[in-house]
Amino acid sequence: MKKAAAIIALLFLALVPIAGATTWNYENFVKQSIAWYYLYQSDEQKFSELYNLSVQMNVSNETLALAMELYNNASAEYSQAITYGIPQETQTFRWVVFSVHIRKAYLYISQAVEVLEEALALPENQTS
């Protein structure tokens, strides 16, 4: 009986919105997806510049390999997202699938950029 009451209480808390809590908004979801798309584009350009600079600065092969692996993962997710095209401003299932892949692509590319930025900052810290 206590177990059933606990489950009911848990369901009640999960299904009843907390006062003042924001609700899910489809338009915000679409805007986030578009933002991830443009952030990916920006970080991809930044990655190319940082990767070339890292090669010139003789960054370790392990670091370059890690950055390239993350970049390849990002490219694969981006390609998967683009197969759905950038969906129109209507409520379609395509936005959900596009959003999942473009967000993963952005996360991978931002990690790759971070790895390269840290690698390039390392020699500066050692000379100080």
Q: With bands split at pLDDT 50, 70 and 90, how would you rate the model's confidence at 125?
A: very low
Choose between 7 and 79: higher pLDDT.
79
Whether the full predicted model's pTM is greater than 0.85, yes or no, is no
Q: Is the pLDDT score of 33 beyond 90?
A: no
Percentage of residues of the chain with pLDDT beyond 70: 72
Q: With bands split at pLDDT 50, 70 and 90, how would you rate the model's confidence at 123?
A: low
With beta carbons less than 8 A apart as the criterion, state whether 28 and 94 touch. Answer: no
Question: Smallest Cα–Cα separation from 28: which of 99, 80, 85, 110?
Answer: 99
